Amino acid sequence: MTRPVIEVRDLQKIYGEGEATVHALAGVSLVVERGDYVAIMGSSGSGKSTLMNILGALDVPTHGTYHLDGVDVSKLGDRQLALARNRLIGFIFQSFNLIPRTTAVANVELPLAYAGVKPRERRRRALAALSVVGLDDRAKHEPNQLSGGQQQRVAVARALVTEPALLLADEPTGNLDSRSTEDVLNVFDDLSAAGRTIVIITHEDEVGARAKRLVRLVDGRIVQDTRQSPLNQRPVGAFAGRHTA
Amino acid sequence: MSFREVVRFALRGLSANKLRSALTMLGILIGVASVILLVAVGNGSAKAVSDRIEALGTNTITVMSTNRGGSSNTSLTTEIADALTDPTMAPDVASVSPVVSSSATITYEGTDHDVSTFVGTTTDWFKASNTPVGEGAGFSADDVAQGRRVVVIGETVAEELFPGVDPIDKQVTVSGALFTVVGVLAEKSSTGNQDSNDTAIAPLNAVRQVLSGYGALSSILVEAKDPDKVDLVQSEVSTILDQRLTTTASSTSSNSTPYRIQNASQLLETQTATADTFTTLLGAVAAISLLVGGIGITNIMLVTVTERTREIGIRKALGAPRRVILNQFLIEATLLSVIGGALGVAAALIGSNFEIVGVRPVIVPSSVGLALGVSIAIGLFFGGLPASRAARLRPIDALRYE
């Protein structure tokens, strides 16, 4: 078996000092295998955003280890963290976070630019990623000319384009109407079926139900970890779970 | 991530806010243009001064008496002037021209004209004082010896008295005496308030007879054989003068000599030094405006960084290293100052074609290089603070920023 994409051991994150300390994460251990599709759910204040920041190499844990694709991220410096974010992780944010006044294709190219890919190759791969999310005809549009769902699909394309080990989505459907949510989730299903490793942070049951595995977080601890469909199959939600939630 | 890529990002950042970028550039533009232009004005006025002095002839010295109308043994006389031509004591003297000058009114057919300097001298004076005759001829040595009443008039005088008429061989009246105009001086570049073309030159004795009388000379113009020997001539002349003009060790003007020697090249040095100080002062004032422009860049870049905090967060999340962010904002700031600086140079070059406060500016090439260099340095320096602030932002904080 190949090494797991995410291997987290006793992760703790403590904010503040003395009396005012807050244990945002109180010892989380989690292993995510390659090709898995995990939804991390929890109410606000459950520590899921903190977990997302650490999994995304945007923040470092106070205690515990985090191996991302075999690399010990918790020990990296600023420069290597930037490199890890660029090569190993594809981010999808709740508020899309596309660069304004920049075309869709240029947005998708951005991580490749930071990775040092040549412009011609970059353009080719960016267009390929856009066609995966079904937006190849919108390549020259700027974010304010696109609908929310389209913007989020551009963001997915941007996350895909570097072929990262992990796709990390933070409330990807939080700002979308149900129709656009459906579009984006279908893209995730396709990506999962194509063997991508996906971690979604969400508080929507509908989104959680479609993942292969559901992890519930309460007060910085994992309270539930359910496998909803086998690792090597198309996620169950793609067919049946669509109307259950 | 290639350098060109970063420059392209920076250009896109600048063009996103065109008016703001343009106004910031304007600050640098004005700074650079004023440095170059004011230094050029200073340089131009220095050049004008040195031209004026060179027009007097740099290979001459002028001897003047310090006590006018004093005792006769300390005033300049024609005998003293003759003594200066002594080939043994003053071997480097080329010519000596005694000069008397006064103001006079010239009349021609009822038209009066007041000449500010009516000069009586010898033929050598024309060459020594760098005052060539344009039309007609100067007077001859014979004219001087005979004290003939002939006169060479300046351009202004000719225009005033003889509008549309050839002044040569016309008779003019000066203090009741008739003078024949034999020539007109070539036009001299007029400098300062005094019109150097408002003059008339006549033989020494004629002027003494008619105007000034046979008193002391106004000055003696001594020409050196070579411009390098001016200082030598000055010491030779002072030796002779010290012998001739015996100062009666009096109480009045105790140690000072009864004469004064004006050395054109010394004058030139003094004037140049003064003009250099002037230029430096102008440059310093202009440099302050360049500094203010630089602070404008810092201000705008700080605003830009705050405005684009979220964008910085996105870029960092996508894997932009700290250095790339730093470079992007540094280059944005530097582009502002470089483009502003280049436009400033262009503005200064255009502006230097016009006369400013009566001075024709002369661009100093090094000031162009310096102003451009300083504006680049200003971009790097004043852009550094906002750029490093952008680079130091933590990605999660930046992403959370609304």
Each residue's pLDDT tens digit, B87-100:
888 888 888 888 88
Long-range contacts of B163-172 (CB under 8 A, 24+ apart): B167/B135, B168/B135, B168/B136, B170/B108, B171/B108, B172/B106, B172/B107, B172/B108
* Domain-located, residue A9: no
pLDDT at residue B44, as a whole number: 86
* Domain-located, residue A89: yes
Query: Which of A59, A114, A158 is facing B324, going by the closest CB pair?
Result: A114
* CB-CB under 8 Å, A83 with B318: no
Q: Which residue of B has its CA nearest to A79?
A: B321
pLDDT at residue B251, as a whole number: 41
How many beta-carbon pairs under 8 angstroms link A with B?
64
pLDDT along chain B (402 residues), means of 10: 79 86 91 89 84 74 70 70 82 86 85 86 84 82 85 87 85 87 80 71 87 82 82 84 65 59 78 84 87 87 88 89 89 90 92 83 87 86 88 86 76
pLDDT in tens, B147-206: 888 999 888 888 888 888 888 888 888 888 888 888 888 887 655 556 778 888 889 888
**How far does the CA of residue A101 sit from the closest CA of chain B (Å)?**
8
Q: Which residue of B has its CA nearest to A49?
A: B396
Phi-psi region of B139 (alpha: psi -120 to 50; beta: other; left: phi over 0): beta
Residue A11 CA to residue A26 CA, distance in Å, equals 7
Which residue's entry shows tokens 């001739």?
B244
Interface test with A, best of B7, B12, B318, B326 (most A CBs within 10 A): B318
- Across the strands, what pairs with B96? B222
Q: Which residue of A has its CA nearest to B313?
A: A97
How many beta carbons lie within 10 A of that of residue A241, not counting itself? 17
* Domain-located, residue A26: no
The residues of A whose Cβ lies within 8 A of any Cβ of B are 53, 56, 58-59, 78-79, 82-87, 91, 93, 97-102, 110-111, 113-116, 158, 162
Q: Which of A165, A182, A163 is nearest to A173 (CA)?
A: A182
Chain A residues closer than 8 Å to B395 by CB: 58, 85
* CB-CB under 8 Å, A116 with B318: no
Interface test with B, best of A81, A97, A123, A162 (most B CBs within 10 A): A97
* CB-CB under 8 Å, B12 with A58: no
Instruction: Give burial (CB, 10 Å; 0-12/13-18/19+) of A24.
Output: buried
pLDDT along chain A (245 residues), means of 10: 85 86 89 92 86 88 90 85 90 89 91 90 93 90 92 93 92 89 90 91 89 92 89 61 41
Instruction: Give burial (CB, 10 Å; 0-12/13-18/19+) of B382.
Output: buried
The domain spans of chain B are 3-51+270-400, 67-257
Domain CATH code at residue A162: 3.40.50.300
CB of A8 closer than 8 Å to CB of A30: yes
pLDDT at residue A155, as a whole number: 93
* CB-CB under 8 Å, A59 with B5: no
Terminal alpha carbon distance of chain B: 28
Terminal alpha carbon distance of chain A: 33
* Mode of pairing for the β-strands spanning B199-203 and B219-224: unpaired
Q: Which residue of A has its CA nearest to B314?
A: A97
Which residue's entry shows tokens 């994460």?
A25
* Domain-located, residue A233: yes
Q: Which of A69, A85, A50, A79 is nearest to A158 (CA)?
A: A85
* CB-CB under 8 Å, A78 with B319: no
Q: Which residue of B has its CA nearest to A87?
A: B319
* Domain-located, residue A132: yes
* Domain-located, residue A22: no
* CB-CB under 8 Å, B315 with A110: yes
pLDDT in tens, B48-70: 877 777 776 678 888 887 765 55
Q: Which residue of A has its CA nearest to B321?
A: A82
**Per the structure, how many domains does chain A have?**
1
Structural domain boundaries enclosing A227: 33-60+69-243
pLDDT at residue B253, as a whole number: 46
* CB-CB under 8 Å, B319 with A158: no
pTM above 0.80, yes or no: no
